[in-house]
Amino acid sequence: MSSNDGTTPPVLFVVGTAGAGKSSLVTSFQRWARFLDIDVLAINLDPGAERVHYDPEFDVRDLISLSEVMDEYDLGPNGAQILAADLVASQAVEVFEEIEGLAGDIMIVDTPGQVELFAFREASSHLVHVLGQGRACLIFLFDPLLSSTPSGFVSQMLLSSIVHFRGGLPTANFLSKSDLLEPETFERILEWGENLDVLEAALFEESANQRDLTEAGREPSLR
């Protein structure tokens, strides 16, 4: 795997919760790069993807079928995703060798929907380091709807931090699908990310509102 100048191309691993827009970002990034005449290598590492709208140079589904893993090991979808990730990681060297001969300016990697695989599984960390070859970073996508509440925003901050510490790579956080948000909500989320005092106040307000709703929903005790 080399760039057009003979060096190893930088690798972007796109990570985030299910439905955050990882595949959509890879698709848009590939189209944008082609428009700028940048040679992008798109890689799919999600064995559970039903379809992708980008052109993968390597597709893990050619190696591992999630449905076959479910049938062979009698697992549900979540268990099969975990085992499939371990199986892919065990073949990390083979995967690297398969894409090593490809030439491009940059590589972008679509990861499995379950962010837990990157947050807590050693197999994923191993795969990142084998494929990254010291020139990689993580892009963590924030789900727009989950980000619209203070607790949801902080939850994703925690997940991003875990992925960062586990992966040991530079990590950039991006709010995905921001066009789905009302302008006021979008601005509020940006302010939470820039001002911890504002975020703390929003968390206290959310907690107080939840407590009021809980107390209002209690039926008076019978005596």
- Over the stretch 75-132, which tens digit does the pLDDT of each residue have? 998 888 888 888 888 888 888 888 877 788 999 999 988 888 778 877 778 888 888 8
Q: Which residues of 151-170 are buried (b: 16+ CB within 10 A; e: fewer)?
A: ebbbebbebbeebbebbebe
Question: Mean of the per-residue pLDDT values for the chain?
Answer: 88
Protein fold of 11-179: Rossmann fold (3.40.50)
Whole-number pLDDT of residue 119: 80
Residue 8 burial by CB count (10 A; 0-12/13-18/19+): exposed, middle or buried? middle
SS3 91: coil
**Helices in the chain by DSSP H: which ranges?**
22-35, 66-73, 77-90, 92-100, 116-120, 122-132, 150-167, 183-194, 196-217
Measured CA angle at 159 (ends 155, 165), to 5 deg: 145
Q: What is the pLDDT of residues 148-178, one digit of tens each?
A: 999 999 999 999 999 999 888 999 999 999 9
> pTM of this prediction?
0.87
What 3 state SS string does 124-187 have?
A: HHHHHHHHHCCCEEEEEEECCCHHHCHHHHHHHHHHHHHHHHHHCCCEEEEECCHHHCCHHHHH
Identify which has the larger pLDDT, 115 or 206.
Answer: 206
CA distances (Å), origin 58, targets 27, 156, 168: 14, 29, 24
Percent of the chain with pLDDT over 90: 55
